[in-house]
Amino acid sequence: MLFSEKLKRFTAAHPSANLTVGGAQFRYVLSGRENGRPLVFLNGGMNTLEIWMDYVDGLSEDYRVLLFDYPQQLRTNQALVAGMHAFFRVLGI
């Protein structure tokens, strides 16, 4: 299957949402069992949440799966870590 087709299917089945926390806008996908143990995927480098799209469906049966992009507003590692903790609290993760 072409990547573009796979991406289209993923975004149709798992539309992303946006949430602003502390002035930083997080784009994310939260999928899986409501009461499932949280499983958070962290992107490397300049990747986006779609890097993990092949794993979501299989893991969503047992886990609460969170994919997200790092907000551009958080420019240092320290700000990113603090922002991620705030984001997780708002989502109840």
Domain that holds residue 41: 23-91
Establish if 12 belongs to a structural domain: no
Position 5 in a domain? no
Contact by Cβ (8 Å): 53, 29: no
0.75 exceeded by pTM: yes
Those residues whose C-beta lies under 8 Å from the C-beta of residue 22, and which sit 6 or more positions away, are 82, 83, 86
Sign of the CA dihedral with 51 first, then 57, 62, and 67 last? positive
Q: How many structural domains compose the chain?
A: 1
Is 57 inside any structural domain? yes
Residue 13 lies in a domain: no
Let me know if residue 59 belongs to a domain: yes
Q: Along the 93 residues of the chain, how does pLDDT read in single tens digits?
A: 899 999 999 999 999 999 999 999 999 999 999 999 999 999 988 899 999 999 999 999 999 999 999 999 999 999 999 999 999 999 999
